[in-house]
Amino acid sequence: MSLTREQKRTFRSLLFKHQDGLAITATIAVLEQQLVFDFLATAQTTSVAAILEKFPQFHAGYLNVSLRSLASQGILKYEVTAEEVRIETTPKFTNFQRHIAHYTNFNTLFAYYYDLLKQPYQFPLPDMDTLISFATYWSITKEAMKADSYFQEEVALHLEGVLLAPLLVYLGYHADLETIETATFLEDTPLQKVLQLLELHDGTSLTTKGSFLFAKSYAYGVTTSYMPIMRHKETYLTGDFLPFFQQDHLGNEQHVFRGINVWGSGGSHATYFNKFDAVLVDIFNKPLDEQPKGIIDVGCGNGALLEHIFDLIWNKTQRKDDLSANKLILIGADYNKEALLSTKRNLEKANVWAEVVWGDIGNPAEIDQKLQELYNVKLEELLNVRSFLDHNRPFNEPSGNYTGHLLSTGAFAHRGKQLHNKDVAQSLIEHFQKWKPYIEKHGLLFIELHTVAPNTVAINLGKTPCTAYDVTHGFSDQYIVELDVFLDAIAKAGITIDPLHSYHFPSDEISTISINLIQ
């Protein structure tokens, strides 16, 4: 499939706005039901504390995350100060109110997709009349409101995302979409009807839009994997959400479909692996006595990063010549047992020797102890690598007070409680202080996810998935901070950042991904 630069830009923007829709639709439905928007329309300027005083049924932390997500869409203004979080309606808020009914309507789709995604794969899909009904509604409404630029450029794409993204993930996760043009499920008449209404199929074959989005189905994977949260957003905001943080009798998480999460993140993150290459080639071309004994990937997911690193060392470094006499130690560590099994299975399939160990990123001392007991190697003797993990650590109350000057614009929660941004920053500093003794010798090479200020995201809609990641990570008690706040915490922990191996994407203005070597 050959696309022009303009087509790629258009479809990439569509993909991001689809994820925005997945992130905010359930939130909008709950806040509308609880009459929060009526209050905001009257108050115009208020605070999170004042909203909670008016609506005490809300869990403060998750309400804060919700309001910030709407600010990232330009519907509200969001300001964090040392004392409070200020909320203000924007001129866009009035236009938004006129379309709330569409969001509340499409919110019912989350129940359908939650039930579908938690069951074993089945095709034809159940109750296709539901999907056809929503696709028809979307098509008719889009045509009726073709003069409404706000609906066309944002609302319609949000609604399309709610309907389409989980469907593409379901098919992509279970099917081989590299041969999508010959996939038998495209012959299914009801499914073809849905795809035609959404302009992905022309009755004979996939359209250009359809081919692009099917090929990029994995890009929706991380956001869609949090379908349990979307489906139960009312419970998270006003009810007993704690059972979702517990594991079932098989040890599986309840707030996320981890298998889909690992699949989606593995596909999406592959783009960034090549930035590791220059660092790794340099390290494993050094004299053998200066090299680490091996590599440990904490938060190994599906093992894709370890496989990439092994292939690189095997094909691009001199260490290959020493592997028979000095076998490279490869270890995948993860808190999730399903991820460990996935890593072991995938690496064996790829003929990559590796061991796995259960480990908590917040407790490097325990990981070190397990490595010595199981594999007779110390954590400090390995090159540490990890991707998108430091924000996904159990929150530990900081023992000290934050004395820095950078204040994140993020919204952070722990089990529903609203966390102060200063405490999040100090906890991050103390997290890296724990790791410092284990990375001083051979370093830590990582990819990390960052948030961006809501006002910046709002003027860059369609250029970043930031809103979706802020919502999914905020409701699952993860702590994404801005790039400058993150790097400042590393420096305050007394750790050096290698300026020759520091990268950020996609731009200076909206840096949501960074790669750094620190030690």
Q: For the sheet containing 76-80, what is the strand order?
A: 45-47, 85-89, 76-80
- Here the tokens at position 332 are 């995948």
- Here the tokens at position 280 are 């790794």
What are the residue boundaries of the structural domains of the chain, listed by start? 5-245, 258-398+430-448+483-488+495-518
SS3 of 240-299: the string is CCHHHHCECCCCCECCCCHHHHHHHHHHHHHHHHHHHHHHHHHHCCCCHHHCCCEEEEEC
- Walk along the chain (519 residues) and give the pLDDT tens digit of each residue: 688 999 999 999 999 999 999 999 999 999 999 999 999 999 999 999 999 999 999 999 999 999 999 999 999 999 999 899 999 999 999 999 999 999 999 999 999 999 999 988 888 899 999 999 999 999 999 999 999 999 999 999 999 999 999 999 999 998 755 555 556 778 889 999 999 999 999 999 899 999 999 999 999 999 999 999 999 999 999 999 999 999 887 777 899 998 898 888 877 766 677 777 888 998 899 998 899 999 999 988 788 889 989 999 999 998 888 877 788 899 999 987 777 888 889 998 888 888 999 999 999 999 999 999 999 999 999 999 998 899 999 899 999 999 998 999 999 999 999 999 999 999 999 999 999 999 999 999 999 999 999 999 999 999 999 999 999 999 999 999 999 999 999 999 999 999 988 889 888 889 999 999 999
Cis peptide before 506 (omega within 30 of 0): yes
Task: For residue 420, give the DSSP letter.
Answer: P
- Here the tokens at position 19 are 């994820």
Cβ–Cβ under 8 Å, residues 309 and 278: no
Kindly list the distances between the CA atom of residue 511 and the CA atoms of 71, 76, 423, 449, 497, in Å, as whole numbers in the listed order.
Answer: 18, 22, 23, 9, 17
Kindly indicate whether the domain formed by 258-398+430-448+483-488+495-518 is annotated with CATH number 3.40.50.150.
yes
- Count of C-beta atoms within a 10 Å radius of residue 129: 9
Question: What is the distance between the alpha carbons of residues 90 and 105, in angstroms, rounded to a whole number?
Answer: 24
Among 120, 121, 123, 110, CA closest to 165 = 110
Question: What is the distance between the alpha carbons of residues 460 and 448, in angstroms, rounded to a whole number?
Answer: 21
Cβ–Cβ under 8 Å, residues 322 and 300: no
Question: What is the distance between the alpha carbons of residues 327 and 320, in angstroms, rounded to a whole number?
Answer: 9
Among 493, 504, 461, CA closest to 92 = 461
Backbone angles phi, psi at 512, to 5 degrees: -105, -15
Kindly list the distances between the CA atom of residue 420 and the CA atoms of 62, 81, 83, 433, 476, in Å, as whole numbers in the listed order.
Answer: 13, 10, 9, 20, 17
Question: What is the distance between the alpha carbons of residues 92 and 295, in angstroms, rounded to a whole number?
Answer: 50
Kind and range of the H or E run holding 357: strand 355-358
- The SS3 call for residue 364 is helix
- The SS3 call for residue 120 is coil
Among 366, 345, 347, 348, CA closest to 357 = 366
Question: What is the distance between the alpha carbons of residues 33 and 378, in angstroms, rounded to a whole number?
Answer: 54
- Here the tokens at position 242 are 């704690």
Cis peptide before 190 (omega within 30 of 0): no
